[in-house]
Structure 1
């Protein structure tokens, strides 16, 4: 757990030291503290204003309205408090210096961690990109084969439809011829026998030709 920047009661005394330099409003005090800590520590308004109110209650500071702002100033009682606690104030300044170093180290460590995390993320993204590219290449290589398979299946389906259409047309033509001869009374007994014999010959010839491909 990160130790507090100010020990108990030290922020109150440090605010008196800042007001001893010049009167300031609350936001200026927050900025002054941020400047002293190099931006590594900036107290919230909820931290500063209750302490200023307590200092006012104790008669160590006063406040006056300056337009929309409230300006705080140290009183003689506040200066006497500072004078009686100079040794403690010196210790606070040393603690502030140590706190600035500690916070700077934490920020530096956080930045380093963030940089390492960023590098890891970039490396991971690069690996994923290479993997995607590799998959893309393999997929691209597979596309012509897949396209050829699709084309072959499409050609086979077309050929099958054409063959079925040819068979249907052949059957229809033969049926029409047989019916015509039957209607004319010219269909002898040798006609069907001839048809069966020749169809069987055609079947064997076509089957042999297809299997020989």
Structure 2
């Protein structure tokens, strides 16, 4: 019986999974996020995946949002025995090195507060920010971003800059659901369509949502995860019948 494992976006922590109401579920906090200290220089997304593998046993249906989806790909490639299936939401198999380095430098120069508006407008729709800026998911994201060490955040942007598993996607043989936000400015729909097309046996689910689809539309996102799990069970049972 596989367990559900949630991997969070950059700047947030494992508490973000609470907005989905998915139980039971495990979640981790990446180095430099939440209450965790800044990691050693040069930490990579592959290192983050290795850390997860070093602390968990069994098999998981892994749900990864944004950064979490990138780490989930590394986990499936380096530790395939740990992964039964993947949900990859609003993520990419290759980081844009130029954009990520510029973002890291801006974070170091401007600090968390100076980057907050840019990040929130990239993550959420204008309607959500205007309608209820103090809604719990938005308030949580804002609080976590302001609390994070700018150096640790810059480290993470640089780790994403070095992320590239594009040419290895064909090695991922587990069932995959890609969740795309049609209003996602960070990973536009064509990026997610291409990701799904490159993954053997993947399916694509579109949502009328921004980059933080799981925070702005948690019920719809959770329903997509449950549909994925039902699909995986059917696929697994069919393979053994």
- Greater relative CO (CA pairs within 8 A, separation 6+): 2
TM-score, reference length from structure 1 = 0.26
Going by fraction, where is strand more abundant, 1 or 2?
A: 2
Going by fraction, where is helix more abundant, 1 or 2?
A: 1
Q: Which has the larger radius of gyration?
A: 1
TM-score, reference length from structure 2 = 0.24
